Amino acid sequence: MSGLQSYSVWDRTTRIFHWLNAICILLLIMFGVMILNHNAIGIDSSEELILKKLHAWVGYVFIINLIWRYVWGFIGNRYARWGAVLPVGKGYISSLKEYLAGFKAGNPVHYLGHNPAARLSVSILFLLITVQAMTGLVIAGTDIFYPPFGGYIQEWIAPVGVNPADLVPGTRDLYDPDAYAEMRAFRSPILTVHEYNSFLIMFLVPLHIIGVIVTDIKEGSGLISAMFTGKKMFASKPVDSEE
C-alpha cells in the first residue's frame, strides 16, 4: 500500500515473551481443566499426578518467562518498558479519553507502542498472570512437594521419626494427620484464588484476542503481524514515535 511507512516497535525479546506466554497459558488452562474435572473425565489418581507434574513444569517455564519480562520492562526498548506499558504517567487519563473518542468515531489516534486502552488491558492481564504464578508455586509445593515450597511442606506434615524427604505425593498414610489438616486449611484459600483467577484469565484472554483483531481492523497498522515481525505500518506518524 502506498503512503505507508514501516516503524520498528516490538523487539525480539518482547515477541518471544508474548508467544511463549501464550503457549504456556493455553497448556496450563488445558492441564488445569483436566485436573479440575478429573473425576468427570475418568482420570485416575496416578494419571492425575502426572497431569499435576506436567502442569507444574509448564508453570515453571511460564514463571521464568514472566520474571524475565519484568526485568525486560526496565532494560528493553522504549516500547517494552513499564513506562510505556502501565496505565500511569502524566496525561494518561486525557490520552485514554482522546483515544476512546477517536476509536468510537472511527478515527483512532495512532500509537506505535500500546495505545492507552491497551495499556490498561495489558496491565490487568499482567496482574492476573502474576497472581496465578504466585499461587501456583504454593499449590505445587502443597500438592506435589515441588520447589520452592515443597521441602517446607514436607517438613510441616512429616510425623515424628519420618524423614520429610521420604514423603511422596498421595501417600497420606505417612503424613501426620493433624499437620496435614492444618496444611490443607492453609492451602484452601490460595487454591480458591488460583481457581477463580484462572476463570478470569480464561474470560479475558478471548476478549484480549477480540480486542486486538478489532483494533487491527480499525487502525490498519498491522498490529497482529507486528508481534511476528516487530514492525507496524502507518500512513501518518504515530504520536509516540521517535522517528
Which pLDDT score is estimated for 193?
Answer: 98
pLDDT digits (tens, 9 = 90+) for 141-189: 999 999 999 999 999 999 999 999 999 998 888 999 999 999 999 999 9
Output the CA–CA distances (angstroms, integers) from residue 38 to 135, 156, 191, 196, in the order listed.
Answer: 21, 27, 16, 18
Show the cell assigned to 147. 520447589
Show the cell assigned to 17. 515473551
pLDDT at residue 93 above 60? yes
Which pLDDT score is estimated for 243?
Answer: 57
Pairing of strands 5-8, 231-234: antiparallel
Instruction: Read off the pLDDT of each residue in 105-124 and give the average, rounded to a whole number.
Output: 93
Domains by residue range for the chain, with CATH: 5-234 (1.20.950.20)
Distance CA 181, CA 163 (A): 19
136: helix, strand or coil: helix
DSSP 54: H
pLDDT digits (tens, 9 = 90+) for 192-215: 999 999 999 999 999 999 999 999
Query: Residue type for 215, please?
Result: T
Q: CB-based burial of residue 68 (10 Å sphere; 0-12 exposed, 13-18 middle, 19+ buried)?
A: middle
DSSP 120: H
User: Average pLDDT, whole number, for the chain?
Assistant: 94
pLDDT at residue 83 above 60? yes
